[in-house]
Amino acid sequence: MGLVQFLIKRVIAILITIIIVLAVAFTLMHVAPGSFFSSANISAQMGALALQSPILYQKYLKMFEARYGLNQPLMEQIVQYVWHSLTFNFGTSFENPSVPIITQLKTAFPISASLAVGSTILSIIIGIPLGVMAALKRNTWIDSLLTTVSVMGQAIPSFVSAVILVLVFGVWFPGLLPVNGWGTPENAVLPIIALSLGNIGVVTRYMRGSLIEGMRQEYIRTAQAKGVRYWSIVWKHGIRNSLTALVTVIGPTFAFTVVNTVWVENIFSIPGLGTLMASAFPSDDIPLAVTSVFILSLMVMGMNLLVDLTYGLMDPRIQLK
């Protein structure tokens, strides 16, 4: 299948999936107790604003009614919301109706993306050498130690790692690194480490298994029989092929790392996408909550598409289907 046909097929599949996700998320929010999607509930939740500024209250009430079609049947509301979302017209949030959601995302998303990129790069830099070492020292104490540490890293949630880092650098060794805020490179160090620990374990274990499997192949034995140097075989045939397979795990890891920023950013008081999302659900800010589901779903599917394209470019033997 050609690249253009592959892209068209995948984009259509992503579009259909996104529409289903948006429709389901909107419906669940609609039928949830205390649903935002009714004029009566909006009026009740904006009661304080009605007392402070009746003019603004009427303005925002009409805006939300028109934006979500609150006086229309549920199916029409879903169609209207899906169309607005697909055109990135997210409207305004309930907690901050004066600022469009897209404006809030433009401010918060780059922060979360920078943390996710930094975490992914650090995971690759550390995880690949550890995985290679574990594979080449298979069934030794080094392999056992690295495997155990990798499993422990995966088992500890990122928010637990963040709390530990805050305890270490905020209580035991204060002043070495900032434990809250954003604006300087130093502010990103601890959040990136907290997000990286589990990912390092993933990369290490995946690299170990892939390299062990690659070194068992017939072409490896053929190269050894021809007298090719051991490290040349390991690098040119073992590690390079394993790196190709590693691409399949790096893409989704990046997408889910952005999800993990929800907790890490709150712990380190970072004004990113995670903090924005975390504030939406407790405050019943349904427009922002549903938009967050859309953004995360789009990211995961987009990264999977990018992984497939990269995989095909790195290994010409792979056919895009």
What pLDDT, on a 0 to 100 scale, did the predictor assign at position 229? 77
d(CA 99, CA 120): 32
Residues 6+ apart with CB under 8 A from 131: 146, 203, 204, 205, 206, 207, 208, 210, 211
What pLDDT, on a 0 to 100 scale, did the predictor assign at position 112? 84
What token pair was written down for 118? 């930094």
- The CATH code belonging to domain 102-280 is 1.10.3720.10
What pLDDT, on a 0 to 100 scale, did the predictor assign at position 73? 78
d(CA 42, CA 54): 14
Instruction: Give the residue carrying structure tokens 């900032």.
Output: 178
Q: How far is CA 263 from the centre of its chain?
A: 12
Residues 6+ apart with CB under 8 A from 63: 92, 97
What pLDDT, on a 0 to 100 scale, did the predictor assign at position 51? 63
What pLDDT, on a 0 to 100 scale, did the predictor assign at position 316? 56
Q: Which of 223, 286, 214 is nearest to 29 (CA)?
A: 286
d(CA 158, CA 156): 6
- CA atoms in the 13 A half-sphere facing the CB of 9: 10
d(CA 195, CA 210): 23
Residues in the chain with pLDDT values less than 50: none
d(CA 91, CA 290): 12
Helix axes 185-214, 141-155, angle to 10 degrees: 130
Contact yes or no for 204/151 (Cβ under 8 A): no
DSSP assignment, residue 177?
Answer: S
Contact yes or no for 290/25 (Cβ under 8 A): yes
Contact yes or no for 112/272 (Cβ under 8 A): yes
Alpha helices in 71-184 (DSSP H): 74-86, 101-136, 141-155, 158-167
What pLDDT, on a 0 to 100 scale, did the predictor assign at position 122? 92
Contact yes or no for 87/80 (Cβ under 8 A): no
Q: CB 140: neighbour CB atoms within 10 A?
A: 12
Residues 275-292 have pLDDT tens digits of 777 777 776 677 787 787
Residue ranges covered by each domain of the chain:
3-91, 102-280
d(CA 182, CA 196): 18
What pLDDT, on a 0 to 100 scale, did the predictor assign at position 192? 92
What token pair was written down for 123? 């995971």
